[in-house]
């Protein structure tokens, strides 16, 4: 069992390595603290230049932190999803969205630093969009091979769903998950191979 002292600070390291930057940033994020380059570098005992070399800019670091904060939520959502064919990945998407919204550090970040959160979450070339696109495409191809949507469609769906969900969360409103899933269903069904 961890002591109170261990919980009061991010993990300490003797000789920091690039992987320690993500661990420290994730710790700060999960404890409701602002993740900025000065703070992470200070906790690691390294210069900002070294940190930038290791992780890129703050937005890139935050993209990796957001992914790490949700862990294997998509895999759990997919495993728990119900329905046949296209309904299976759509139910997984619903569960995934609900799980993300229930992630208190993620929701707090979206409300506290909404502009930054939306930039990171809605970067069409960012790691979040890439992972969401890849996972939705793979799940759809597996469950509903009759859907022949080009990869770009999954990228657009990832960005659309992210925008519909997180713009509302950032504004302190509950997103309409049913409408988001409905849009995804309509777009993907339009790409079904004729029977």
Residues 6+ apart with CB under 8 A from 32: 105, 108
Residue by residue, pLDDT tens for the chain (195 residues) are: 444 544 666 766 568 999 999 999 999 999 999 999 999 999 999 999 999 999 999 999 999 999 999 999 999 999 999 999 999 999 999 999 999 999 999 999 999 999 999 999 999 999 999 999 999 999 999 999 999 999 999 999 999 999 999 999 999 999 999 999 999 999 999 999 886
**Looking at 88-177, which runs of residues are DSSP E strands?**
none
H-helix or E-strand containing 102?
none
Say if CB 140 and CB 147 are below 8 A apart: yes
- Going from N- to C-terminal start, the domains of the chain cover 4-56, 71-189
pLDDT value of residue 2? 47
The pLDDT score that the predictor gives to residue 148 is: 95
Q: How far is CA 121 from the centre of its chain?
A: 7
Closest CA to 158 of 189, 179, 175, 136: 136
pTM over 0.75: yes
The predicted structure's pLDDT at residue 1: 47
């Amino acid at each position: 069992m961890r002591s109170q002292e261990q919980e009061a600070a991010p993990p300490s390291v003797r000789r920091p390595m690039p992987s320690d930057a993500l661990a420290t940033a994730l710790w700060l994020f999960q404890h409701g603290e602002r993740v900025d380059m000065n703070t992470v570098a200070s906790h690691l005992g390294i210069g900002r230049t070294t940190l930038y070399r290791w992780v890129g800019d703050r937005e890139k670091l935050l993209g990796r932190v957001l992914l790490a904060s949700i862990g294997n939520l998509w895999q759990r959502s997919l495993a728990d999803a119900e329905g046949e064919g296209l309904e299976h990945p759509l139910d997984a998407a619903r569960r995934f969205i609900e799980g993300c919204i229930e992630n208190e550090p993620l929701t707090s970040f979206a409300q506290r630093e909404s502009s930054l959160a939306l930039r990171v979450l809605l970067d069409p070339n960012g790691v979040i969009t890439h992972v969401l696109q890849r996972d939705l495409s793979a799940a759809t191809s597996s469950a509903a091979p009759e859907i022949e949507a080009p990869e770009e469609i999954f990228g657009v769906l990832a960005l659309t769903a992210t925008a519909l969900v997180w713009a509302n969360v950032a504004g302190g409103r509950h997103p309409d998950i049913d409408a988001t899933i409905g849009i995804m269903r309509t777009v993907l069904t339009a790409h079904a191979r004729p029977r």
